[in-house]
């Protein structure tokens, strides 16, 4: 793990599952940290967070105190806010089971905090704090309680904040245990982010996600195996991509080959090439369908045409006739797939050229669909002995790897990367990039990247960017992959001319030029 430099190993970046978090806490207790002290620290840190957002508190606060230590955190919050002069009430929907939580609750009532006997009114304007179960949830919750919270959420009379995990939401899967979970306006993750909170399925429930630092020692964070990093646009400031020497010629600024498009899907080729051009790669070549090849000089005269592809009777591209005449060893990276369509016989004849390619092979879209329908299936990846990156969305993933099962997308990406010795981008609202030992969970990225054509642009951009960086390091690692994906999404978020692929490609060009001169703000 010493090679990891992006992002930093700290509590705001690392993601763990519920068991890992419990183990970390137990280790801290074994080292001498009193449970009371950890509860105090969590509750006080959350109170400070709330006191910086006083408009949330102006109509009062109702804290829902659960039976365990998450309820104890809520009791500390209630105490701190009450002592600051705010109107605070508490309600316990379940019998209290932890002595420490019960002691805090007794102290609350002794200093004058109102303990409700009946459920609070969901139509009130006060802030509700969900401190019921947190990371210890393992089964469904009384649906009446969920409905009460969500009545409050949908009425919009006052905000809902969940402490650590919204009640009813699985901390590992990011899905409700039953039909529904609490929908929060804010979720405050204590210690480390839990895997479930960063999954696409959790987005309707968590609202805005914030991290609450409780001071987990660095050496414990460093010793976490198979690290998962949460990355956002803020982490772009610390991206370190190699700077090109001023005296390098075009052949030393990345050589990439794109095999894309068909008579059926000609636009995919144009978009993939746009992405490659946006990367700033020095030498971009292409194998294109005849329809695109005839006109490419008009829109991208800098592209070197290495061959053309005929189409079968369904309009899908035939790769074999072009690949047999190309020396792939002259390229740093090769991208195959955007818009080529399905032709199983052609893939059977073509695959050996790609298996033997010693550079970085990027497989996207219909290349993945061809693999999933081929005789080898996913064993194709085991036949390759060189760097292979793939970019499926969830349906393509399940076609490729029907036997891989996991609680969430992060697990799917990690398991497939390890089993088949590849790097995987599993695309979604919060995309995941995974290698054998490390993974990067993108979070808070722009939804405009979930549009037709932007995947083609991304494939070209990754192909070009990786080719550049391969001129400096012949074995670039999966963290480069995650950086390219984050840069692509950031360009979409910054594009003021719209969210179409060509406009975002122009924004990518400016972004990469700025990045190379360290000007990202």
Domain match, 246 and 356 both:
yes
- Mean pLDDT, residues 256-267 taken together: 96
Q: Is the pLDDT of residue 283 over 70?
A: yes
- Cα separations in angstroms, 192 against 203, 209, 214, 421, 425: 18, 12, 9, 28, 23
Per-residue model confidence as pLDDT tens digits over 81-118 = 999 999 999 999 999 999 999 999 999 999 999 999 99
Q: Domain total for the chain?
A: 2
Q: What is the pLDDT of residue 520?
A: 47
DSSP 427: B
Instruction: Decide if 69 is inside a domain.
Output: yes
Q: Rg (Cα) of the chain, in Å, rounded? A: 26
- Give tens-digit pLDDT for 325-364: 999 999 999 999 999 999 999 999 999 999 999 999 999 9
In the predicted model, what is the mean pLDDT of the chain? 93
Beta pairing, strands 14-16 & 228-231: antiparallel
pLDDT interval class at 499 (50, 70, 90): low
Same domain, 277 and 167: no
Helix (H) or strand (E) holding 506: helix 501-516
Quote the domain boundaries for residue 384.
237-516
Using one digit for the tens of pLDDT, what is the confidence trace for 215-256?
A: 999 999 999 998 999 999 999 998 887 666 665 666 678 999
Digit-coded pLDDT (tens) for 161-185: 999 999 999 999 999 998 899 999 9
Residues 382 and 477 in one domain: yes
pLDDT score, position 516: 64
- pLDDT (average), residues 425-434: 96
Alpha carbon distances (Å) from 92 to 65, 78, 82: 5, 13, 17
Residue 466: which of 479, 488, 481 has the closest Cα? 481
* Residues 83 and 27 occupy one common structural domain: yes
Same domain, 218 and 243: no
Where is pLDDT greater, at 345 or 499? 345
| Residue among 477, 480, 475, 446 nearest 465 (CA) | 480
138 and 242 co-located in one domain: no
Statement: residue 448 has pLDDT above 90: no
Note whether residue 230 is domain-resident: no
Q: Is residue 231 part of a domain?
A: no
pLDDT at 301 over 80: yes
Same domain as 458, residue 329: yes
pLDDT at site 495:
85
pLDDT range class, residue 475, cuts 50, 70, 90: confident
Residue 518 — very low, low, confident or very high, per pLDDT cuts 50/70/90?
low
The pTM score is: 0.94
Last residue of a domain, one of 198, 225, 252: 225
Last residue of a domain, one of 225, 257, 276: 225
428 to 394, 413, 518: CA distances (angstroms): 8, 12, 29
CATH of residue 99's domain is: 3.40.50.10260
Q: Measured between alpha carbons, how far is 410 from 479 in angstroms, rounded to an integer?
A: 15
List all residues 6 or more positions away from 233 whose beta carbon is below 8 Å from its beta carbon.
444, 445, 486, 489, 490, 493
Per-residue pLDDT band at 472 (split at 50, 70, 90): confident
Q: Are residues 158 and 258 in the same domain?
A: no
Q: What angle do CA 23, 28, 31 make, to 5 degrees?
A: 125
The pLDDT-based confidence of 500 (bands split at 50, 70, 90) is confident
Confidence of residue 381 (pLDDT cuts 50, 70, 90): very high
Q: How does pLDDT run across 338-349, given as a tens digit for each residue?
A: 999 999 999 999
Q: What is the mean pLDDT of residues 502-509?
A: 90
Q: Do 154 and 176 meet the contact criterion of CB atoms below 8 Å apart?
A: no
Amino acid 385: pLDDT:
96
């Amino acid at each position: 793990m010493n090679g990891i430099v992006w992002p930093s190993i700290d509590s705001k970046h690392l993601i763990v599952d519920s068991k890992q978090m419990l183990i970390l806490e137990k280790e801290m207790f074994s080292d001498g940290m009193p449970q009371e002290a950890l509860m105090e620290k969590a509750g006080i840190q959350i109170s400070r967070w709330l006191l910086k957002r006083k408009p949330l508190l102006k109509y009062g606060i109702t804290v829902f105190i659960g039976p365990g230590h998450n309820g104890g955190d809520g009791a500390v919050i209630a105490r701190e806010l009450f002592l600051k002069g705010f109107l605070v009430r508490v309600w316990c929907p379940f019998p209290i089971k932890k002595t420490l939580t019960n002691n805090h609750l007794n102290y609350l009532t002794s200093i004058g905090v109102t303990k409700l006997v009946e459920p609070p009114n969901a139509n009130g304007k006060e802030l509700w704090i969900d401190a019921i179960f947190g990371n210890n949830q393992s089964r469904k919750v009384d649906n009446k309680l969920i409905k009460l919270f969500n009545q409050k959420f949908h009425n919009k009379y006052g905000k809902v904040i969940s402490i650590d995990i919204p009640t009813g939401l699985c901390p590992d899967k990011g899905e409700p245990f039953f039909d529904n979970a609490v929908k929060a306006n804010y979720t405050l993750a204590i210690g480390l982010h839990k895997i479930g909170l960063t999954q696409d399925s959790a987005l309707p429930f968590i609202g805005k996600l914030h991290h609450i630092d409780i001071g987990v020692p660095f050496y414990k964070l460093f010793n976490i195996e198979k690290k998962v990093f949460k990355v956002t646009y803020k982490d772009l400031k610390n991206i370190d991509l190699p700077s090109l020497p001023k005296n390098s010629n075009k052949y030393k600024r990345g050589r990439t080959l794109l095999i894309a498009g068909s008579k059926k899907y000609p636009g995919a080729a144009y978009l993939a090439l746009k992405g490659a051009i946006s990367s700033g790669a020095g030498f971009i070549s292409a194998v294109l369908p005849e329809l695109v090849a005839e006109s490419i000089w008009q829109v991208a005269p800098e592209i070197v045409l290495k061959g053309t592809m005929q189409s079968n009777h369904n309009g899908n591209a035939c790769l074999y006739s072009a690949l047999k005449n190309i020396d792939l060893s002259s390229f740093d990276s090769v991208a195959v797939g955007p818009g080529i369509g399905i032709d199983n016989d052609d893939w059977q004849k073509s695959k050996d050229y790609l298996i033997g390619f010693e550079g970085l092979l990027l497989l996207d879209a219909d290349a993945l669909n061809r693999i999933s329908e081929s005789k080898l299936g996913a064993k194709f990846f085991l036949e390759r002995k060189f760097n292979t990156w793939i970019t499926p969305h969830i349906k393509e993933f399940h076609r490729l790897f029907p036997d891989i099962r996991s609680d969430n997308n992060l697990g799917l990406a990690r398991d497939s990367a390890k089993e088949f010795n590849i790097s995987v981008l599993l695309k979604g609202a919060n995309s995941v990039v995974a290698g054998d030992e490390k993974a990067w969970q993108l979070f808070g990225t722009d939804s405009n990247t979930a549009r037709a054509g932007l995947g083609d642009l991304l494939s070209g951009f990754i192909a070009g960017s990786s080719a550049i960086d391969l001129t400096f390091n012949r074995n670039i690692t999966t963290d480069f992959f995650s950086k390219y994906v984050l840069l692509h999404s950031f360009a979409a978020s910054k594009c003021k001319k719209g969210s179409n692929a060509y406009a975002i490609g122009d924004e990518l060009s400016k972004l990469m030029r700025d990045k190379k001169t360290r000007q990202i703000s």
